[in-house]
Structure formats: C-alpha cells, structure tokens
C-alpha cells in the first residue's frame, strides 16, 4: 500500500478501539504538512540541530513510513525545510514527526506529506551528520522504535507498543 492510498484513521477512534495497546504522545505538536492524517511504520533519528541524517534518510525509499526525529525539543534551528520535504514526497514517505523545528511552513502545507513539529525557525541547522539512525527515541515519555506503527492526525500521535 502506498503512502497516498493509506486510509485516514482518526486517532481518537483508534484509541477507543485499542486502548492501552497504544501509547499517546501528549506533547502538543503542530500539524504543518498538507496531509492531516498519516500513519506508517516508524523510522527513527536522534540528532540535535543537525539535519544531515534527516536529509539523507528522506532521500531513500520511504515505502509509506513515518520518520520520527528526536531533535531534543530544540527550536533553535530547523531540522527540515521545503527541499527535504519535497524529497520525502518524491520518495514515498507518509510523514515526518519532528521533536524540534521546521522551516518553510507555507511550502510544507502545500505538500502531500504529513508533518508534525513543535514549531518553526528560519535558521538552518548544521550539516555535519551528527546523530543516530534507527535507535529507540523517547518523546514525552513514549518510546518509539524503528518498525513500530505510528498514527498521526490533528488530535495527536499514537504509537503501537
């Protein structure tokens, strides 16, 4: 199933059906992409104010996955902008969740990509490649592992445990 053909799932309904099988991220992420509902198997990155791993990962085949980036909650630099997001769309990613900032909000809103982030900042990040890919990340007390199913919509984020 492609990212575009994944049916929209409302997180509230899903939680009502599955309850404590799912963890809910209570941190109030903003919905900034053109796709309000998105879901897929998670891929993870941990980095801080350096988006080289985000760029290189989203340049690979996404197969409807959701990239979860733990940027340490920093709003100091953007970890994704319009060009990286366009690459994600071209490579079949369903969406991106960034515990940090993005930039180019208006362009992101026009793309067929789910984007959840804490906010935005026009400042570029470093490009050194510092960080880790496919590691467990913890956001708001919820552990997200590569391969775990994740669902996102305007109400929030649910993760299969």
Residue ranges of the binding site for Mg(2+): 104
User: Pairing mode, if any, of strands 22-25 and 156-160?
Assistant: antiparallel
Exposure string of 139-161, with b = 16+ CB inside 10 Å and e = fewer, is beebebebebebbbbebbbbbbe
Binding-site residue positions: 81-84, 103-104
> Per the annotation, where are the binding residues for substrate?
81-84, 103
User: d(Cα 107, Cα 158) in Å, to the nearest integer?
Assistant: 26
Q: Residue 112 in contact with residue 4, Cβ under 8 Å? A: yes
């Amino acid at each position: 199933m492609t990212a575009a053909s994944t049916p929209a799932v409302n997180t509230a309904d899903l939680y009502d059906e599955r309850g404590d099988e799912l963890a809910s991220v209570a941190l109030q992420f903003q919905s900034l992409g053109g796709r309000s509902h998105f879901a897929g198997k998670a891929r993870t990155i941990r980095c801080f104010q350096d988006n080289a791993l985000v760029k290189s990962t989203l340049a690979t085949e996404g197969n409807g996955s959701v990239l979860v980036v733990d940027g340490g909650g920093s709003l100091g630099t953007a970890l994704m902008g319009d060009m990286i997001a366009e690459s994600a769309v071209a490579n079949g990613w369903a969406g991106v969740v960034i515990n940090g900032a993005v930039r180019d909000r208006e362009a992101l809103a026009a793309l067929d990509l789910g984007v959840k982030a804490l906010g935005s900042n026009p400042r570029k990040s470093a490009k050194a490649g510092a960080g880790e890919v496919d590691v467990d990340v913890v956001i708001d007390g919820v552990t997200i592992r590569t391969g775990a199913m994740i669902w996102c919509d305007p109400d929030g984020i649910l993760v299969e445990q």
